[in-house]
């Protein structure tokens, strides 16, 4: 065998090796999730991944907070008690929605009656990023979704450096199905967008508290104070500062993740948030 033949065979094996490690059938995903918007929207561009690990939300009060149960020290918050979005805290998205189907528009975001409301209208939606990021901490959001095929609601942490997927992504409330019976907790990590996560079954058209704890040695997820996910694999933990993001995505995205808009889709659909609270370690 000539040297040229050996080199060609070696190159072919290397190429095939890369193809195998990136095989999307292995469960690699997204905003979050999908193509980053200029303002910091979450989500990658791979096919969405649905965790196999599942549980059902227990019969606890939906106003139970992980922060209260665990005595977390609050360092920032927004109770949405005003009449407009606080631009000192939030940067609304202006780019494409996840998957590039529609557009984010600031006029689809409203603050009234003590609530933040993000409304999708056809192929326009809304999303917003917390102005300040940090490395490690705890975030808790009280939110309510509404039934509607063709739209997905997401609460996530997104890398300040916009270096997804290497910079990580933590979706601690991702509800793509129109019936709103499953909430996914998904951590994206590594240059190949590897993922770990958990799916919780329940009625997410009701108010619930969604929380994430991000520490140097673990990531944990909570719904209504119940721990639903934990990993201590340091390879999974994001390497740099991240910020909170809230958004509503528009289908089609992925294979049965967020279906395309059709006759089942409402003309408008709201995603509502009662408050956002950020805690130190």
Looking up residue 130, the CATH number of its domain turns out to be: 2.60.120.200
* Lookup: tokens for 61: 């009060």
4 occurs within a structural domain: no
Q: Is 117 helix (H, G, I), strand (E, B) or coil?
A: strand
Q: Give the closest residue to 63 by CA, choosing from 139, 140, 145, 142.
A: 142
pLDDT computed for residue 36 by the predictor: 39
User: For residue 12, what is the enclosing H or E element?
Assistant: helix 3-21
189 occurs within a structural domain: yes
Distance (Å, rounded) from C-alpha 123 to C-alpha 97? 9
pLDDT beneath 70: ranges in the chain: 1-47, 59-61
Burial of 52 (0-12, 13-18, 19+ CB in 10 A): exposed
Cβ count near 157 (within 10 Å): 27
Task: State the residue range of the domain holding 272.
Answer: 66-279
Q: What is the pLDDT of residues 153-165, one digit of tens each?
A: 999 999 999 999 9
123 occurs within a structural domain: yes
* Lookup: tokens for 50: 């649905």
103 occurs within a structural domain: yes
Q: Are strands 127-130 and 151-159 parallel, antiparallel or unpaired?
A: unpaired
Q: Which residues contact 256 (CB under 8 A, 6 or more apart)?
A: none
DSSP 197-262: EEEEES-TTS-EEEEEEEETTEEEEEETTEEEEEE--TTTS-SS-EEEEEEEEES-BTTTTBPPP-
Q: In what order do the strands lie in the sheet with 182-189?
A: 54-56, 194-201, 182-189, 169-175, 151-159, 242-250, 127-130, 90-92
How many structural domains is the chain composed of? 1
34 occurs within a structural domain: no
pLDDT computed for residue 58 by the predictor: 73
User: For residue 18, what is the enclosing H or E element?
Assistant: helix 3-21
pLDDT computed for residue 127 by the predictor: 98
Residue pair 80/114 in contact (Cβ under 8 Å)? The answer is: yes
Q: Which residues contact 123 (CB under 8 A, 6 or more apart)?
A: 97, 101, 102, 103, 250, 261
pLDDT computed for residue 98 by the predictor: 84
Distance (Å, rounded) from C-alpha 22 to C-alpha 24? 6
13 occurs within a structural domain: no
32 occurs within a structural domain: no
77 occurs within a structural domain: yes
Map 127-161 to HEC letters. Answer: EEEECCCECCEEEEEEEECCCCCCEEEEEEEEECC
pLDDT computed for residue 29 by the predictor: 31
Burial of 274 (0-12, 13-18, 19+ CB in 10 A): middle
Distance (Å, rounded) from C-alpha 42 to C-alpha 244? 9
pLDDT computed for residue 193 by the predictor: 96
* Lookup: tokens for 117: 């409301």
């Amino acid at each position: 065998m000539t040297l040229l033949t050996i080199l060609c065979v070696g190159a072919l094996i290397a190429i095939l090796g890369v193809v195998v490690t990136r095989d999307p059938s292995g469960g690699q995903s997204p905003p979050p999730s999908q193509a980053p918007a200029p303002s910091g929207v979450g989500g990658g561009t791979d096919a969405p991944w649905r965790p196999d690990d599942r549980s059902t939300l227990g019969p606890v009060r939906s106003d139970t907070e992980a922060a209260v149960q665990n005595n977390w020290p609050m360092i920032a918050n927004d109770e949405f008690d005003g009449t407009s979005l606080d631009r000192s805290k939030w940067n609304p998205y202006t780019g494409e929605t996840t998957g590039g189907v529609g557009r984010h528009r600031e006029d689809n975001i409203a603050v009234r009656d003590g609530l933040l409301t993000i409304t999708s209208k056809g192929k326009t939606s809304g999303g917003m990023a917390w102005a300040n990021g940090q490395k490690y901490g705890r975030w808790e959001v009280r939110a309510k979704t509404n039934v509607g095929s063709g739209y997905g609601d997401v609460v996530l942490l997104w890398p300040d450096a916009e270096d997804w997927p290497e910079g990580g992504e933590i979706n601690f409330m991702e509800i793509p199905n129109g019936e709103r019976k499953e909430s996914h907790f998904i951590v994206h990590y590594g240059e190949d967008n590897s993922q770990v996560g958990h799916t919780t079954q329940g009625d997410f058209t009701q108010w619930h508290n969604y929380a994430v704890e991000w520490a140097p040695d673990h990531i944990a997820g909570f719904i209504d104070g119940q721990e639903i996910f934990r990993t201590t694999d340091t390879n999974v933990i994001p390497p740099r500062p991240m910020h909170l993001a809230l958004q509503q995505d528009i289908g089609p995205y992925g294979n049965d993740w967020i279906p395309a808009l059709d006759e089942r889709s409402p003309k408008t659909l709201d995603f509502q948030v009662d408050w956002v609270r950020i805690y130190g370690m």
